[in-house]
């Protein structure tokens, strides 16, 4: 008598990410942002830089709490795109995912660009304004190199992430402690806020750029499917990451304002602005603000000048690599959900990596790099940019799109959280955003999240600031979304799938499977008990 064959289980992502690994995974993304965002915000918000960071930081806390609840409740690799698709449907899930893809492609170019900027602090030949072609070629080489590494299946290890993250936390803490102890002058802070207060337009522009310093929480939710006991670990690591980044951003902005006097200057195109005097206003110094600030710390500055550029360059390069990897993972997940063509789901037979997704979105990153570098490479293009785009430099252009993509995707994440609270109240939430209004919908108790509404208002305001103050972001951001929606509609029509409606899915069965695969068996049992009780109540009502 033959024994029937059982189907071999499909391979799953190994759950090997520890609490520190989860923190460092997120920190390697979000922690790198202050290296880019500080100089950009100082350039425009001037004496209100700390206010810009405070507003963006409050919004960031709301975003962090939302991602913490969603990633611990639905520990899957899709991140914000999955949460929005599950809460609002396929079309909105696509838009949110497509906006995240814009952010990931910008992530590749922006952080590779800034990595070279920090390196130029020790290697002057890489300064963009002095040697634009060399700067461009080095950034291009880094982008292409990261693309090749991801095709081969090589990416930074969690252990290396943890090591670099630990070094950076220690380094940034030392800079702040010694800076406030030996160099900070409260009188200068008050003077800068009083005499160098920006115009409303400049404050809006600075605030929209401040959100750049808080982008990257997607990484923790992306790692949820590889995290041990995610419902327990993710809340702890997320809250720790939120507080760490918020403290660093607020502390650095206040230290910068109280370290040196300010004076009004104009940029190369005659636009009035305020800028810290040790940062002559140009994109070269905007891109390495933390290194320049560290140099000014008494006693410690001479040593910091040697290693902070290297540490910043490495951390930024890791973040750039996460953009290559993250874009391919998001595209793979969207393809699996029939939101993108199946070609993005194809895996190379030898390397076992989604080669087409990696190459396609890395190519988008290269196009963005060319457009950003064009004014420095071709003088005629500089005049054109000045005439039509108010003279935005390459770094500002990349930051514009980065802020637009983040604000768009985060806006939908808040809406997705609200929808999931209303439509899926039975899923156990080990971590829940505070400040909720209890109500009953269809016979079930629902906790309506007030903070999600406030967070949506805040991030949507930043989106409006971005559209109002960034000429390039106002053009290329919506264009990216429109092209994506057209691609989505053509694909769904070709596959004879619902175009404006969503495919029918058994979310109950999927949620049981998610909890089982994540090892959250107690939560799975609680969810099954909730379903049984809900079905019994409905049967009793009928």
3-state secondary structure 362-406: HHHHHHHHHHHHHHHHCHHHHHHHHHHHCCCCHHHHHHHHHHHHH
43-90 per-position pLDDT tens digit:
888 889 999 999 999 999 999 999 989 988 998 877 789 999 999 999
Mean local confidence (pLDDT), 430-456: 93
Enter the DSSP assignment of 122.
Answer: T
User: Is pLDDT of 278 > 50?
Assistant: no
Average pLDDT across the chain, whole number: 84
Reported pTM: 0.88
Query: Which of 267 and 94 is assigned the larger pLDDT?
Result: 94
Q: Of 358, 394, 309, nearest to 113 (Cα)? A: 394
User: Is pLDDT of 6 > 50?
Assistant: no
Burial 476-512, CB ≥16 within 10 A → b, else e: bbeebbeebeeebeebbeeeeeeeeebeeeeeeeebe
Query: Which of 219 and 295 is assigned the larger pLDDT?
Result: 295
| Rounded CA separation 70/63 (Å) | 11
The predicted structure's pLDDT at residue 158:
57
User: Is pLDDT of 451 > 80?
Assistant: yes
Strand partners, 274: 264
* Cα-only R_g, the chain: 24
User: Is pLDDT of 474 > 50?
Assistant: yes
Query: Which of 329 and 270 is assigned the larger pLDDT?
Result: 329
The predicted structure's pLDDT at residue 9:
43
* Topology classification of domain 20-410+457-486: Amino acid/polyamine transporter I (1.20.1740)
| Rounded CA separation 492/485 (Å) | 10
Query: Which of 433 and 393 is assigned the larger pLDDT?
Result: 433
All residues at 6 or more sequence positions from 165 whose CB lies less than 8 Å from its CB, including other chains: 23, 24, 27, 28, 31, 315
| Rounded CA separation 374/380 (Å) | 9
| Rounded CA separation 444/439 (Å) | 8
The predicted structure's pLDDT at residue 194:
86
Query: Which of 478 and 540 is assigned the larger pLDDT?
Result: 478
Tokens 């522009």 appear where? 205
335-386 per-position pLDDT tens digit:
988 999 989 888 887 777 888 999 999 999 999 999 888 877 877 666 666 5
* Domain spans of the chain, in order of start: 20-410+457-486, 508-541
164: Cα within 13 Å, side-chain hemisphere:
24
The predicted structure's pLDDT at residue 478:
93
């Amino acid at each position: 008598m033959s024994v029937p064959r059982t189907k071999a289980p499909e391979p799953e992502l190994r759950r090997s990410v520890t609490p520190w690994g989860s923190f460092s995974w997120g920190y390697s993304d979000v922690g790198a942002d202050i290296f880019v965002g500080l100089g950009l915000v100082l350039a425009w918000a001037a004496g209100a830089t700390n206010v810009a960071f405070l507003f963006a930081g409050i919004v960031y806390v709301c975003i962090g709490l939302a991602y913490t609840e969603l990633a611990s409740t639905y520990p899957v690799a899709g991140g914000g795109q999955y949460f929005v698709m599950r809460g609002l449907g396929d079309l909105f899930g696509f838009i949110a995912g497509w906006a995240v893809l814009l952010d990931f492609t910008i992530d590749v170019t922006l952080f590779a660009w800034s990595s070279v900027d920090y390196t130029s602090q020790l290697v002057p030949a890489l300064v963009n304004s002095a040697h634009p072609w060399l700067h461009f070629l080095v950034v291009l080489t880094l982008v292409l190199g990261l693309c090749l590494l991801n095709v081969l299946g090589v990416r930074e290890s969690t252990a290396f992430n943890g090591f670099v993250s630990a070094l950076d936390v220690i380094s940034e803490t030392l800079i702040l402690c010694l800076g406030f102890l030996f160099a900070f002058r409260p009188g200068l802070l008050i003077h800068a806020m009083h005499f160098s207060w920006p115009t409303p337009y400049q404050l809006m522009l600075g605030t929209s750029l401040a959100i750049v310093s808080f982008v990257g929480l997607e990484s923790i939710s992306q790692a949820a499917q590889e995290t041990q006991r995610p419902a327990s670990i993710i809340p702890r690591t997320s809250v720790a990451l939120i507080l760490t980044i918020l403290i660093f951003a607020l502390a650095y902005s206040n230290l910068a304002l109280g370290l040196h006097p300010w004076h009004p200057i104009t940029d190369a195109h005659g636009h009035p602005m305020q800028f810290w005097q040790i940062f002559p206003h140009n994109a070269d110094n905007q891109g390495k603000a933390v290194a320049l600030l560290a140099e000014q710390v008494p006693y410690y500055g001479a040593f910091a000048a040697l290693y902070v550029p290297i540490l910043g360059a490495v951390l930024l390069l890791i973040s750039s690599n996460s953009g290559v990897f993250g874009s391919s993972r998001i595209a793979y997940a969207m393809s699996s959900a029939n939101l993108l063509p199946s070609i993005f789901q194809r895996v190379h037979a030898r390397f076992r990596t989604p080669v087409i997704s990696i190459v396609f979105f890395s190519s988008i990153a290269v196009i963005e790099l060319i457009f950003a570098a064009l004014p420095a490479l071709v003088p005629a293009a500089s005049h054109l940019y000045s005439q039509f785009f108010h003279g935005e430099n390459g770094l500002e252009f990349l930051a514009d799109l980065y802020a637009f993509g983040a604000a768009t995707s985060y806006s939908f994440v808040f809406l997705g959280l609200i929808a999931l609270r209303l439509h899926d109240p039975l899923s156990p939430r080990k971590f829940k955003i505070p400040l909720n209004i209890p109500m009953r919908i269809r016979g079930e108790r629902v906790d309506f999240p007030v903070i999600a509404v406030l967070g949506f208002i805040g991030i949507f305001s930043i989106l409006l600031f971005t559209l109002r103050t960034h000429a390039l972001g106002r053009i290329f951001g919506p264009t990216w979304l429109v092209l994506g929606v057209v691609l989505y509609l053509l694909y769904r029509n070709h596959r004879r799938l619902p175009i404006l409606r969503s495919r029918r899915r058994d979310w109950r069965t999927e949620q049981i499977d998610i909890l089982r695969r994540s090892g959250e068996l107690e939560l799975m049992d609680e969810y099954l008990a909730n379903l049984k009780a809900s079905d019994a109540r409905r049967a009793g009502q009928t």
